[in-house]
Chains A and B, each alone.
Chain A
Amino acid sequence: MPQGPENKVDLRPTLELTPGADGPAPWLDRRRFLKSAGAGFGSLGLLDLLMRQGVVRADGGDVPQAGAGMMKPRSPHHAPRAKAVIFLFMYGGPSGFDLFDPKPVLQKSDGKTADFSINTFFDGKQQGKLMASPYKFKPHGQCGQQVSEVFPELAKCVDEIAFLKSCHVDSNNHGPAMIQMNTGVIRVGLPSMGSWITYGLGSENNDMPGHITMYDWRGGPINGAQNWSSGFLPSNFQGTAFRSSGTPILDLQRQPGISAQQQMRQIKLIEQLGRGYRQANPAEADLQARIESFELAYRMNAAAPGVVDLSGESEETKALYGMDKPVSRYFGTQCLLARRMVERGIRFIQIYSGGGNQQESWDAHLGLKVNHDMHCAETDRPMYGLITDLKRRGLLDSTLIVWGGEFGRLPIIQNYSGKTGGRDHNPQGFLMWMAGGGIKGGVSHGQTDEVGWKATVDPTSVNDVHATILHQLGIDHERLTYLHDGRAYRLTDLAGEVIEPILA
């Protein structure tokens, strides 16, 4: 673009240097940092930089410190109702109207062709035949909430639960829908909610990761670790996969033949031999945090087995979680572990029910009843146990439990075998529930149409669900942001409203 010299203006911004000081990096000295950050805009170049480096929360909240210290607790935006979240992720997509939201019209229309065509995942647009629910329902609790016969135990807890009956996601496919349920959008690469939450609040446990994922005995869900990825946030906030027996965390166990004492000697020598190098480079915060990371690793080695050591739990407690029955032992153990993690100040715990594909997960294409019979039996008593146990220990008020999958199921039949039929994916209207953590019990929010296909009243987006979870934790979802690629990102993308009617 040729230009005359007279109108050529150099608009290059001049370089602003960031003043530092001798000694440790300024963000290691929290008081000094906050003072300088609050002192006026002269030092905002520093704030900007730290934000880009991910060592300061973009909303100007407390400063996550570099290195392993990034998990230190930080103050929320407003008084929190919940301190921890347990997200029970029913991977594959459970059917809301077969479990909690009976549809009389659907019951009366079994085998009839719907007078509208429905977008199905496998067969395109279908004039499918409606399939009545194979389950019987009964009202429960003070609130009279209907619950299917496959959840006899959980049904006792309905007065603690708020049902979200009109949820929707943007994809009809497991992969993107799960990514959306975990990160807010359907494309991969963004941070998961557990990462956002620990980025915002840190964790109250000094010896364990603050963001933990436990997955099904059959294996992990679709997308694997992308579901608990920290995306572009520092990897400190990545979810840690935690197994309920054996070695709970990867690389946690010492190699055979090496004693704790020998390993401690190893760590001490690392500290000693590296001292000179660290002292020569006082400005490198990541370098300074290394010894802390080894110490945390060592403490984790001691603390994590303590989490999975259930010898101190009574038989009554174990039975409460269904651990006395083979069918519910695995999920029950994970629910009990979740309670123990909450007690230890761990911030975000996600448990996946269902692994692999098809019937191994809640993905009931090949038979709704056989699928849900199995998965409900695995989870019913454990969920009852979790709510009941948290309540009697006074922890339910401060622990938010969220239940749901990546979508729900269609009211029409699929793969009819002559005896039973399956149900295809339904992203347009499905059910989730929340309990504890300042959520009003015994209420419902939203509705789907008379057969349960589409959300019709008060549709609830994934962004709304996320906004509500953050709100209960004391976080304003619009203010928890992170600058990346020229834009301030947030968990709720560009939308999301707190679901006020279900708040206690």
Chain B
Amino acid sequence: MRRLLGGGLSLFIIQAAGLTLGLLAIHSIASGAEPQPTTPKDEIHQKAGKHKKAVITPEAISTPVDFARDIFPIFQERCFTCHGPQKQKNNLRLDAANIVMAGGASGPAVIAGKADQSLLLQRILGQGSEQQMPAEGKPLTGRQAGLIKAWIDQGAKWPAGVGVADAKVNVHWAFERPGRPRVPDVADGEWARTPIDRFILAALEARKLAPRKDAHRSTLIRRAQMDMVGLPPTPDDIDAFSSDESPDAYERLVDRLLGSPAFGERWGRHWLDIARFGESAAYEYDNDRPNAWPYRDFVIRAINQDLSYRTFIQWQLAGDEIEPSNPMALAATGFLTAGPAQDNKPTPLENFDSLDDTLSTAFGATLGMTIGCARCHNHKYDPIPQRDYYQLLAAFTGSKRIDFELKGFSGDGMSVKSLGMTDRGPKPPKTVILNRGNPEMPGDPVAPGFISALTDSAVDGGRWKAASAQPEKTTGLRRTVAQWMADPKHGGGFLMARVIVNRLWQHHFGQGIVRSSGNFGLTGDPPSHPELLDWMAWKLIDDDWNLKPLHRMMLTSRVYQQGTDFDAKASAADFDNRLLWRRAPQRLEAEVIRDSIMAVSGTLNQKMGGPSIRPWIHTDAIATGNSKKWPDNIKDGPATWRRSIYIFTRRSILMPMIESFDGPNAMTPLTKRMTTTTAPQALFFLNNEFIHEQATHMAKELIRTTGGSRDKMVMELYRTALGRMPEAAEFDPAGSFLSSQMAEYAAGLPESERSRAKLMALRDLCKVVLSLEEFIYID
């Protein structure tokens, strides 16, 4: 524990973490003296179903067996490492009678009186398709097996006082398959509109709290629109919605937003953050990846088409294996090539780092698991042995980067190149466990496998058989992992559903039900509403993994529509608003700020897709890198005034504006944007060329539409940028600001150019309004 946490962790952290996670749980897992998995080589073949198991003939025992004397010591010596007080692989612990009789993942271990039908004996003898036990070391001796057989046949008597009474199996909530929670009853049935509301309200009522009153219509449309498409509503949109008295006005708004192509551009960005998508390699030369963009377009289109989330994920892991002739499926594999890679004579360690990064990103994105921790040793907190990591890795070690030729991907019928992943051939290379994760310290080989904690071992082996049965160009291994991952019954599907439901929730409500949305493990945050999370996970699975119905349900919930009013009493009880007693304002992401500025200035070019754009950035920013691969002589215009998701992500030269507003660095997965408030952000609003130019456009347009009357300009500016009329306390200072700036500008200009003073003054006022909290936050 000390080592993993960085050695000198203070009492503070341990206690803080303990409070959240249950201190005991951490200690028992962390201190569980798990030996390094020195895996017998034959186990691999067993898993692949090829192994000839050790034949054990149980000695015939006719004398009475004494459990405490004859059996328990065998368990202690050979089984407790995996099935004992600390670790309970497949939920089986052999130190407790109640659990032995009830059984673990595969069912009762012992059926009293019927040794031949007892799984315990079957596993010891290596019967059936399952792995022979003990998994490590030599098989039991004939005498030991005979004693166990006789003990069961003699009635499996377990005297009191031996082992632990009424023991429990420790399963971290996230790794347990969800039940089907009942929608709770609430006192205020009037308020709740959707099942989501009932879950939220029940928790509030339990703490004697109540939700805020509904937000105003004008607030609501701005909230929904920013959230769903990342662009502010036009004044006309707001007027139409505010005056629409039909009962389903809001539902129709939500449906319109769900159908907008801009929905994919907004929500695609969330996924690209997790995929740490970039278009250059990073490191020494930061080489361009000119064919990376089709992956970005795949993400946007998949979201717009409501491609089932299961398919969305499966294609990203193995689109080339699942639908090799579907350009969308091939483009999807760009997920596996989206990260940084040291491509200048990489060392084995650097190559392995890159592979590790791919695997860690994939499992963090889909299952919220930090499996990278198991690269060097068994995961210290989560039930992920080092072996699991390499078993999963085995599906990826035979892969290589490739430029697919996609026909019919772009609208113009031209074929495009798309960077993605496929296998080198049908035969996977040997994968070995690396001691301490170091490629220079290879250990035992492993066959492909899954995360054991999420796997129904009864189905496990069959999958790999099926994978190798189909002769084709690839190994079929990534496809097999993808199938396992999305299988809610026997694989990781239930966790995959929980994780994506939580991500959706995080973006709609500002924080996840599990706040650590990329980490559902023991070191992650506990869920604020576990039943709601599971209820929605089931809804997703039942809806055939289509996400739009879930978005719709979240948006049409009453809790989504509540106001932001601060309440001292509620805040005193729940400062972080974990129970959602109010709607908390959110700072907009960097991209949404940039896009919104262009939208209200009337310059936004809504062209979708295609190769990325490189907007103008200051030569000083370009010069910070050694490879100055960014055009410094272009002028911004309609070609670059496109949505920010289309900006080329050069890892060594990030757009300064995006960077300063906490945008992604495309190096590591970003599960939640930070919200910092820094001086460079203020400098952007005050001095940056982009906002200066946009504000000039906006001012010109306002002068044109209002005829240039001071009062009208102020009103129209407020309406366009903030979607409302200014109040008196705003109107007056804005007006006098215009007058003062104008007088000063005019005084500095020659007579013939004085007419420009109005434009310049209004431009400054536009910049002020675009700098306001109300513009860059949503209520």
Contacts and interface: CB of A to CB of B under 8 A. Distances in A.
A219 B764 contact: no
10 contacts: A6-B98, A7-B98, A11-B22, A60-B11, A243-B620, A251-B680, A255-B692, A257-B745, A263-B686, A266-B686
Interface in A49-77: 49, 51-52, 54, 58-60, 66-68, 70
A226 B667 contact: yes
Nearest to B674: A234
B165 interface: no
A486 B677 contact: no
Interface string A164-186: 00000011111110010000001
B618 interface: yes
A421 interface: no
A235 B342 contact: no
Given A234-B674, A494-B7, A273 B571 contact: no
B688 to A, nearest CB: 5
B626 to A, nearest CB: 5
Given A58-B13, A251-B687, A490-B7, 18 more contacts: A7-B98, A11-B173, A12-B527, A17-B579, A41-B15, A41-B19, A45-B20, A68-B679, A173-B345, A186-B353, A188-B667, A189-B667, A223-B283, A247-B620, A251-B683, A262-B741, A274-B774, A361-B626
Interface in A2-52: 2-4, 6-7, 9-23, 26, 41, 44-49, 51-52
B623 A219 contact: yes
Contacts of B523: 486-487
A443 B286 CA distance: 39
A20 B575 contact: yes
Contacts of B50: none
A114 interface: no
Nearest to B761: A262
A273 B620 contact: no
Contacts of B25: 11
A109 interface: no
Contact of B19 (A45, A266, A274): A45
Contacts of A26: 575
A269 B9 contact: no
A176 B283 contact: yes
B283 A251 contact: no
Contacts of B681: 293
A485 B519 contact: yes
Nearest to B344: A173
Contact of A300 (B16, B283, B683, B684): B683
Nearest to A122: B345
B680 A240 contact: yes
B10 A479 contact: yes
Nearest to A259: B744
A393 interface: no
Given A47-B12, A221-B626, A287 B667 contact: no
Interface in A67-93: 67-68, 70
Interface string A232-259: 1011101011010001011111110111
B321 to A, nearest CB: 28
Given A4-B103, A265-B741, A356-B626, A48 B19 contact: yes
Interface string B584-613: 110100000000000000000000000000
Contacts of B725: none
B687 A486 contact: no
Nearest to A281: B585
A18 B575 contact: yes
A236 B678 contact: yes
A297 interface: yes
Contacts of A10: 173
A203 B373 CA distance: 34
Contacts of A257: 745, 748, 760
B444 to A, nearest CB: 24
B729 interface: yes
B626 A488 contact: no
B573 to A, nearest CB: 6
Contacts of A277: 772-774, 777
A246 B740 CA distance: 30
Contact of B10 (A12, A58, A67, A269): A58
Contact of B676 (A9, A174, A236): A236
Given A175-B282, A270-B768, A235 B676 contact: yes
Interface in B515-572: 515-516, 518-519, 521, 523-524, 526-528, 530, 564-566, 568-569, 571-572
Contact of A265 (B102, B342, B677, B740): B740
A71 B773 CA distance: 22
The 4 closest A-B pairs by CB, nearest first: A20-B575, A478-B8, A175-B283, A22-B568
Contacts of B176: 1
A337 to B, nearest CB: 16
B526 A1 contact: no
The size class of the interface chain B forms with chain A is 35 or more
Given A26-B575, A265-B741, A273 B456 contact: no
Interface in B705-752: 727, 729-730, 733-734, 737, 740-741, 744-745, 748
B692 A487 contact: no
Interface of A: 1-4, 6-7, 9-23, 26, 41, 44-49, 51-52, 54, 58-60, 66-68, 70, 121-122, 170-176, 179, 186-189, 209, 215, 219-226, 229, 231-232, 234-236, 238, 240-241, 243, 247, 249-255, 257-259, 261-263, 265-267, 269-270, 272-274, 276-278, 280-284, 286-287, 289-290, 292-294, 296-298, 300-301, 355-357, 361, 476, 478-479, 481, 483, 485-490, 493-494
Interface string B494-525: 00000000000000000000011011010110
Interface stretch (B117-125, B291-299, B303-311, B653-661): B653-661
Contacts of B345: 121-122, 173
Most buried by B among A54, A121, A265, A298: A265
A233 to B, nearest CB: 9
B544 to A, nearest CB: 24
Interface of B: 3-13, 15-17, 19-22, 25, 90-91, 98-99, 102-103, 105, 107, 167-173, 176-177, 207, 282-286, 340, 342, 344-347, 349-350, 353, 357, 364, 370, 373, 381, 456, 515-516, 518-519, 521, 523-524, 526-528, 530, 564-566, 568-569, 571-576, 578-579, 584-585, 587, 618, 620-621, 623-628, 651-654, 656, 659-660, 662, 665, 667-668, 674-689, 692, 727, 729-730, 733-734, 737, 740-741, 744-745, 748, 760, 764-765, 767-769, 771-774, 777
A258 B686 CA distance: 10
Contacts of A300: 679, 683
B317 to A, nearest CB: 21
Contacts of A479: 8-10
Given A251-B686, A277-B772, A20 B660 contact: no
B677 A286 contact: yes
B684 to A, nearest CB: 6
A301 B519 CA distance: 41
Given A51-B13, A59-B10, A290-B677, A253 B687 contact: yes
Contacts of B357: 187
Contacts of A238: 659
B642 to A, nearest CB: 22
Nearest to B173: A12
B678 A266 contact: no
Given A13-B20, A487-B4, A280 B564 contact: yes
B370 A485 contact: yes
A293 B683 CA distance: 9
Contact of A250 (B207, B573, B680, B773): B680
Contact of A14 (B526, B587, B628, B676): B526
B767 A224 contact: no
Contacts of A296: 679, 682
B687 A224 contact: no
Contacts of A240: 680
